[in-house]
Amino acid sequence: MCGIFGYIGEKNAVDIIFKGLKKLEYRGYDSAGIAVVVDKELHIRRSVGKLCNLGLSLKENPISANIGIGHTRWATHGRPSKKNAHPHTDSAKTVVIVHNGIIENYVELKAELQKDGQEFKSETDTEVITHLIKKYYEDNLFCAVQKTLSRVRGSYALGIVSKDEPDKIICVRQDAPLIIGVGVGENFMASDIPALLSYTRDMIFLENGDIAEITAEKIVIKNIKGDIINREIKNIRWDTVQAEKNGYKHFMLKEIFEQPRTIEDTFRGRIYPDEGRVYIEEVKLEKEYIKNISNIYIVACGTSYHSGLVSKFLFESFAKIPTEVDIASEFRYRDVILDEKTLVVVVSQSGETADTLAALRLAKTKGCQILAVCNVVGSSISREAMHVIYTHCGPEIGVASTKAFTGQVTALYILALDLACKREILTIGELKKYLKELWEIPLKINKFLKNAKFVHDIAKVFASKRDFLYLGRHINYPVALEGALKIKEISYIHAEGYAAGEMKHGPIALIDKSMPIVAIVIKGRIYEKIISNIEEAKARGGIIIAVADQSDKEIGNKSDYVIYVPETDEFVSPLMTVIPLQLLAYYISVILSCDVDQPRNLAKSVTVE
């Protein structure tokens, strides 16, 4: 849940590490620090709060070096404070480390080290690693790390430097992402791709158990036994502009506006509406297997869970496969009934969410086929799944997911159609129709975004409200949940998403004349039902903000505000209806001066349970 970065080469490590950390700040931002070696001495700077505080401290107290490691933290063990900020060092200030992850057996290790007389300076689990390395360190840092790793349990991506071997960084990966950036006369390590893109496109994705020794000229990767491991260098095509704000005020806004392109990138090369053909190269499920799938389990967290909920309607209606959707942290602790005829679909933007990864591993033990819908190439989930459909969304930096949701829904829509074809359920005519609907979505979203300023006007009216209700039905019920999640996480306003038909079973009691109710009222099989539901809410004084089809002539009489969206088929409509909800949350957050891209208490990638 933290970001780590390291550099070794001829340039000023401090500048490079600081810039790298800036790109990783979305992973955690409650404290930050940098450690470098100069003339065989360790120098460490740490600050509480965002990275800019570390920047100020480096300005007041500048330093330069050719080797160093840095960290931006999201607290797990030990509150956010200077003493808990990374990097951490041993008492003699010989070795210094940055860590992303959790050391599960740190309590017993700490007790053992304290018994040896070791003093601890922080409340972190990480500090045990520094003391263990020092304990085992004779004259070879790599060997000390090997011995240390044989003692620790948990998840860790580590960057380790010693003042006595200032020509190398040791990088370790176990259940937390770590990438090596391959340069010329310089090398890098980082938790994520965007941090490296300004320096290199050649990257090595470390695997669990890898211990890499990087110098300015060489990268050697070994396993814990010391055997050399060969890892492929991958060339990453994301450009740096993709990873920047591109002129937008916030990453979230940029990512909302990118959606026509990211949806198109996700379906491009996979669908052929004129021919009525779907082709997902990465999915190698046998036709016979597909015909015999007994049920689908979709497992995910947060926004990815919501896109999974959308796809339940698609798998059931298109492919006629019974589908359940589960929150990964629940799934992993239930006695779920799975067998080899169950297709488990894990959905994750980052591919590093701890609960989703654990659910994937559990399903594997039951002999299921595992298919991941994932955005980050080389992530843990994408590597451990048997089949991966990548959403080609590029890096999502805003903590609030936007383009990840629409990319996932797009990928799942295509998958559902592919399964439906292979099970010979849809006619070619139906398939062409559904593919065409998807094909047209980017244009429709673009059209909406060009005239979306009025969403800002609505945001101004409601920004002072403390509660919101979001209502939807059928395939737009999960969109109501997603709309409520967006406003909660970036505006800190209490919001509930409800299946509109469920209102009268309790939540309707909440409605009074000050309650804004955002209702998704798209033409389709339950249009009349949701109209009745909003009438019930209106009769109790609620203020209705409807998201409705452009062609809907009636809705204006039944609601107080209408956000018209281009008309779509109901099965593809979540890709359209979610856009105004994302924008509404965004504008309210800006009006309230909240930190849009880095909301409090959150982090982009939840790599701990």
Provide the CA 106 distance to its chain's centre, in angstroms: 27
Shortest Cβ 373–ligand M6R spacing (Å): 9
The two three-digit tokens of residue 10, written as one number: 């001829």
- The nearer residue to ligand M6R, 290 or 415, going by C-beta atoms, is 415
- The nearer residue to ligand M6R, 437 or 489, going by C-beta atoms, is 489
Q: Alpha-carbon distance 110 to 104, whole Å?
A: 11
* Element holding 169 (H helix, E strand): strand 169-174
The two three-digit tokens of residue 520, written as one number: 């998704």
Shortest Cβ 439–ligand M6R spacing (Å): 25
Residue 151: Cβ within 10 Å count: 16
- Which of the residues 2, 171, 374, 393 is marked catalytic? 2
Shortest Cβ 470–ligand M6R spacing (Å): 15
Rule CB under 6 A: which residues touch ligand M6R?
A: 301-304, 348-350, 353, 356, 399-401, 489, 605-606
- The nearer residue to ligand M6R, 303 or 533, going by C-beta atoms, is 303
Say which DSSP state 167 is in.
T
- The nearer residue to ligand M6R, 481 or 530, going by C-beta atoms, is 481
- The nearer residue to ligand M6R, 1 or 35, going by C-beta atoms, is 1
Residue type, 359: A
443-446-451-455 Cα dihedral, nearest 10 degrees: 120
SS3 state at 547: strand
Cβ proximity of 176 and 4 under 8 Å: no
Phi, psi of 511, rounded to the nearest 5 degrees: -75, 130
Shortest Cβ 393–ligand M6R spacing (Å): 11
The two three-digit tokens of residue 410, written as one number: 């797009």
Nearest to 306 by CA among 344, 263, 349, 265: 349
Cβ proximity of 404 and 263 under 8 Å: no
CA angle 215, 219, 225 (to 5 degrees): 110
* Element holding 471 (H helix, E strand): strand 467-472
Q: Order of strands, edge to edge, in the sheet holding 387-390?
A: 323-327, 295-300, 342-348, 369-374, 387-390
Shortest Cβ 303–ligand M6R spacing (Å): 3
- Which of the residues 110, 168, 254, 604 is marked catalytic? 604
- The nearer residue to ligand M6R, 353 or 476, going by C-beta atoms, is 353
- The nearer residue to ligand M6R, 381 or 417, going by C-beta atoms, is 381
Q: Alpha-carbon distance 415 to 429, whole Å?
A: 18
Residue type, 114: Q
The two three-digit tokens of residue 294, written as one number: 């007994």
Cβ proximity of 425 and 319 under 8 Å: yes
The two three-digit tokens of residue 235, written as one number: 């060339």
Shortest Cβ 581–ligand M6R spacing (Å): 12
Residue 118: Cβ within 10 Å count: 18
Q: Alpha-carbon distance 136 to 121, whole Å?
A: 20
- Which residue's Cβ has the minimum distance to ligand M6R? 302
Cβ proximity of 394 and 264 under 8 Å: no
Active site residue 52: no
- The nearer residue to ligand M6R, 146 or 582, going by C-beta atoms, is 582
Shortest Cβ 379–ligand M6R spacing (Å): 9
Say which DSSP state 341 is in.
T
- The nearer residue to ligand M6R, 89 or 356, going by C-beta atoms, is 356
CA angle 225, 228, 230 (to 5 degrees): 135
Active site residue 366: no
Phi, psi of 310, rounded to the nearest 5 degrees: -60, -45
Shortest Cβ 322–ligand M6R spacing (Å): 24
136 burial type by CB count under 10 A (0-12 exposed, 13-18 middle, 19+ buried): middle
C-alpha Rg value of the chain to the nearest Å: 25
Shortest Cβ 130–ligand M6R spacing (Å): 30
Shortest Cβ 541–ligand M6R spacing (Å): 31
CA angle 196, 201, 206 (to 5 degrees): 70
- The nearer residue to ligand M6R, 36 or 354, going by C-beta atoms, is 354
The two three-digit tokens of residue 442, written as one number: 């980017």
Q: Which residues are catalytic?
A: 2, 604
